[in-house]
Amino acid sequence: DTEVTQTPKHLVMGMTNKKSLKCEQHMGHRAMYWYKQKAKKPPELMFVYSYEKLSINESVPSRFSPECPNSSLLNLHLHALQPEDSALYLCASSPQDRRVPDTQYFGPGTRLTVL
Amino acid sequence: SQELEQSPQSLIVQEGKNLTINCTSSKTLYGLYWYKQKYGEGLIFLMMLQKGGEEKSHEKITAKLDEKKQQSSLHITASQPSHAGIYLCGADKAGGTSYGKLTFGQGTILTVHP
């Protein structure tokens, strides 16, 4: 089973709203990722959590706040977003087991529209 | 940082035809990943290559990594409409030293006409 789930599938929010994106995996993976993908562009890494600790923040604005409550869950809290933040937000996870190549498995994404 | 260039940017083929997509790196590749994406959906992992000269196949898709580990190709034999989508190559962003940081090529849009 290589399933990563994301909710919601679609989200429309105003610039003053606070919302959260949720990601879940039950593969026992120890690394989880958030990517942002604009139309006709490849995914761009935002954050990496390794063993529930934030290991990489790719200079993401503070209006995006990640949270990893446990090894299976990853949240992305959104506050005071701008219309240019509208994009497909992808979550991924990987084993982070040095005995095997570290392949990232992606969820289906959340399509975010900021009005 | 790792820069990946994919070619062609888009490809339109008739069902049953063979096709090849290329991914070229400016630096040595320590791990090269191929993903497929339907528009607006998540990425589906296809294959991962690590060793120079390595070749892997899954159903009608074959991926190769050259001996110098700077170029990979993805070959689809007897294409079908189900192969349509965006193909992305991805690699470790800093050549094996930044665990988990993938950078992607711009993608190749494949259309297969029945």
Cβ(B91)–Cβ(B4) under 8 Å? yes
User: Quick check: B42 and A96 CB within 8 A?
Assistant: no
Cα angle B65-A49-B51, degrees, rounded to a multiple of 5: 15
Q: Which of B102, B104, B109 to mutate to test the interface with A (most CBs of A within 10 A)?
A: B102
With 0-12 / 13-18 / 19 or more C-beta atoms within 10 angstroms meaning exposed / middle / buried, residue B71 is: middle
Cβ(B15)–Cβ(B80) under 8 Å? yes
With CA atoms as reference, the chain A residue closest to B105 would be A42
pLDDT < 70 positions in chain A: 1-2
- CA-to-CA distance for B73 and B96, rounded, in angstroms? 20
SS3 B106: coil
- CA-to-CA distance for B66 and A101, rounded, in angstroms? 18
**Which residues in chain B are closer than 8 Å to A92, comparing Cβ atoms?**
43
Name the band, by pLDDT with cuts 50, 70 and 90, for residue B97: very low
- Facing residue for B100 by CB, picked from A31, A105, A107: A31
Residue with tokens 């995006």: A64
Distance from CA of B113 to the nearest CA of A (A): 21
Rg of the Cα atoms in chain B? 13
**Which residues in chain B are closer than 8 Å to A101, comparing Cβ atoms?**
31, 48, 50
* Residue B32 confidence (pLDDT): 92
Cβ(A21)–Cβ(A78) under 8 Å? yes
Name the band, by pLDDT with cuts 50, 70 and 90, for residue B9: very high
* Residue A68 confidence (pLDDT): 97
Q: Nearest CA to A30 among A72, A78, A64?
A: A72
User: Quick check: A48 and B101 CB within 8 A?
Assistant: yes
**Which residues in chain B are closer than 8 Å to A33, comparing Cβ atoms?**
100
Q: Would you say the C-alpha torsion B10, B13, B15, B19 has a positive or negative sign?
A: negative
* Residue B15 confidence (pLDDT): 98
Q: Nearest CA to A79 among A8, A14, A24?
A: A14
* Residue B100 confidence (pLDDT): 67
Residues B28-56, mean pLDDT to the nearest whole number: 92
**Which residues in chain B are closer than 8 Å to A103, comparing Cβ atoms?**
33, 45, 48
With CA atoms as reference, the chain B residue closest to A58 would be B101
Residues B32-59, mean pLDDT to the nearest whole number: 94
In total, chain A counts a number of residues equal to 115
